[in-house]
């Protein structure tokens, strides 16, 4: 009798398993958004960018870059947007600064835009993102931060930028992808710093 009952249950078990697989696939498809593309492109840098190098370099234009093994926090964002969306921050920041130079920080004493370095400076990116992306509230609510969001902060007195990952820690706080000194990494550090900006790229 037990064997007969088990046989009767098999079709129902198959349906349940198949339904579960279908739900998993649907979730994966629904999450294939702009944010997820940015996250995947950022994660692809982990293990490739292993150093930190803030030195000024002359680079090609447009779509210029320094060697993938090196970079700073902004390079993680620049490469992620370039690879995920074919969006060239070097070009976009340079053109916006060239046409609206007075709206950007004067921290470095420059008198005109510099396509080699402007997009690699966090304060410039903050200004650009406020102008061109969607600015969002800065909160301590983990669910307010979605995969692919760009978040700026202060590490001591140094400005920093990071990407919200598609994974969260056991505490529900999203992980971040950034380069804070030892290469591109995914880490649980979102609320470890004083947040200064929260942005989302427009689809």
Q: What is the pLDDT of residues 105-129, one digit of tens each?
A: 999 999 999 999 999 999 999 999 9
Task: Give dist(CA 119, CA 110) in Å, integer.
Answer: 14
- The residue among 2 and 76 whose pLDDT is bigger is 76
- For the cut 70, the answer to whether the pLDDT of residue 21 exceeds it is no
pLDDT band per the 50, 70, 90 thresholds, residue 30? very low
Burial 43-52 (b: 16+ CB within 10 A, else e): bbbeeebbeb
- Chain position carrying tokens 């090609």: 60
For residue 153, give the 3-state DSSP assignment: strand
Task: Give dist(CA 76, CA 162) in Å, integer.
Answer: 8
Task: Identify which of 64, 60, 66, 33 has the alpha carbon closest to the alpha carbon of residue 148.
Answer: 33
- For the cut 80, the answer to whether the pLDDT of residue 180 exceeds it is yes
Helix (H) or strand (E) holding 158: strand 158-168
**Contact between 188 and 46 (Cβ < 8 Å):** no
**Contact between 93 and 118 (Cβ < 8 Å):** yes
Task: Identify which of 41, 33, 43 has the alpha carbon closest to the alpha carbon of residue 175.
Answer: 43
**Contact between 59 and 88 (Cβ < 8 Å):** no
């Amino acid at each position: 009798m037990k064997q007969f009952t088990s046989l009767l249950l098999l079709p129902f078990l198959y349906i349940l398993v198949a339904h579960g697989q279908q739900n998993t696939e649907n979730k994966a498809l629904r999450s294939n958004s702009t944010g997820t593309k940015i996250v995947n492109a950022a994660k692809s840098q982990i293990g490739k960018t292993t150093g930190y190098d803030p030195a000024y370099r002359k680079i090609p234009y447009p779509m210029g870059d320094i060697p993938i093994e090196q970079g700073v926090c902004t390079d993680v964002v620049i490469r992620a947007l370039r690879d995920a969306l074919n969006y060239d921050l070097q070009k976009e920041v340079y053109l916006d600064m060239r046409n609206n130079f007075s709206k950007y920080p004067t921290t470095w004493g420059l008198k005109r835009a510099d396509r080699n370095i402007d997009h690699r400076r966090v304060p410039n990116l903050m200004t650009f993102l406020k102008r061109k992306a969607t600015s969002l509230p800065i909160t301590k609510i983990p669910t307010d931060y979605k995969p692919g969001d760009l978040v700026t902060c202060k590490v001591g007195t140094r400005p920093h930028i990071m990407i919200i990952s598609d994974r969260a820690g056991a505490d529900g706080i999203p992980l971040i992808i950034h380069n804070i000194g030892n290469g591109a990494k995914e880490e649980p550090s979102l609320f470890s710093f004083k947040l200064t900006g929260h942005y989302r790229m427009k689809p």
